[in-house]
Structure 1
C-alpha cells in the first residue's frame, strides 16, 4: 500500500490518496497531501478543511459537493458557500480534494 511521508512517519493511503486510518490525520499530514494535490494552503483552505472535519465528527459522513456547498453557505455565508469559490480553492472537486486533505473518506456519490 502507498503512503505519505510525514516527518519520517509513513501514513498509508489507498490508490486515490485517501488515508486508510482516519486517526492518523494531522495538520502536517494535511500539508503533505495538499502539496501532492498542488494546493497552496491558505486560511481559506484551512477553514474548509476544519469545517469538513467538524461536519464529519457530527454526522459521520463526508458530504458530497452539493451538500458541502449548502452546509458551508449556511455556516460561512454565500461568498464562501458557492461553486465558483469552492472550485477556485479545490479545482479537482471541492468535496473530493478537500476531504482528502482533511483526512476523511471519499465522499459518497463521488466518482
Structure 2
C-alpha cells in the first residue's frame, strides 16, 4: 500500500492518493493536500465543505455526492465548483482525508 508524507507524518493512501484511515488526518495536512490539488488557500467556505465531508463520512461511512453536498452543506453546487474546480466531491474528500465517495470517477 502506498504512503504519502504530510508534514512529518507518513499516512497510507490508496492508488489514487485518498486516505485509507481518516483518523490519521489533521487540519494542517489539509493545507498541503489542497496546495497539491491546485488550491492555493483554504477559505472559511472551503472549511465548511471539508468539515461537512468528514461529518458525513463519520455518520454514513462514505462522503456525499456533489448533488447531496450542494443540497445539504450550505454551499451551492455552483460555489462548490468555484471552490474545488477539479471536481468538488472528489477533491474535497481528498483534502478532508476521507476515502473517495461512491459514484466519483
Detail structure 1 runs of 4+ shifted over 4 Å in the superposition. none
Name the larger-Rg structure.
Answer: 1
The match for 1:66 is 67
Shift of 1:4: 2.8
Contact preservation (8 Å) 1:4, 1:33 = no
Aligned residues: CA RMSD: 1.4
Unpaired segments ≥5 residues, structure 1:
none
Shift of 1:53: 1.0
The partner residue of 2:104 within 102, 106, 110 is 110
How many residues align? The count is 104
The match for 2:45 is 44
Shift of 1:61: 1.7
Contact preservation (8 Å) 1:96, 1:106 = yes
Unpaired segments ≥5 residues, structure 2:
none
Aligned equivalents of 2:63, 2:9: Cα separation in 1: 26
In the TM superposition, what whole-angstrom CA distance separates every residue of 1:35-74 from its partner, at most 9, and x where no partner exists? 11011211110111011111222222211111111112xx
Tell me the TM-score normalized by structure 1: 0.84
The match for 2:32 is 32
Aligned equivalents of 1:86, 1:31: Cα separation in 2: 17
Tell me the TM-score normalized by structure 2: 0.88
